Amino acid sequence: MSTHTLSTDRVPFGSRELADAGRLLTAWAAASGRGRVTVTLNLLSGLVFLTNAEIGMTYALNGAGTLEEWVACATCHTDGFSSEVGLNDFGDCALCQTLTP
């Protein structure tokens, strides 16, 4: 088994993943997305998302079908949509914020 969990190669993309990529790119264009984005597939979860290396951001479609930033906690590495994870200025999620004095 491969140790790589992310792929930008289109070979592992099935019809669902390609459809997700199309929806993401359409949402990116509608949001006046600027800069170069890369369509990426998480081979473990099946999540398709966009990455923008220029500004270090990752985007995915949330449950409402809206393009939203995908983030990860700097402390516990919990990941999810920015509206759900609730990072503070230090990059800590809501749970980690309650654990730090």
How far apart CA 54 and CA 66 sit, in angstroms, is 22
In a domain, 68, yes or no: yes
Count up the domains in the chain and report the number.
1
In a domain, 65, yes or no: yes
Query: What pTM was computed for the model?
Result: 0.74
In a domain, 29, yes or no: yes
In a domain, 59, yes or no: yes
In a domain, 1, yes or no: no
pLDDT, tens digit only, all 101 positions of the chain: 445 788 888 888 899 999 999 999 999 988 877 778 899 998 888 889 998 877 678 889 988 888 999 889 999 998 889 999 989 999 999 889 888 66
In a domain, 89, yes or no: yes
In a domain, 42, yes or no: yes
Domain that includes residue 84, residue range? 6-99
In a domain, 12, yes or no: yes
pLDDT of residue 87: 92
Comparing CA positions, the residue from 36, 93, 76, 91 lying closest to residue 59 is: 36
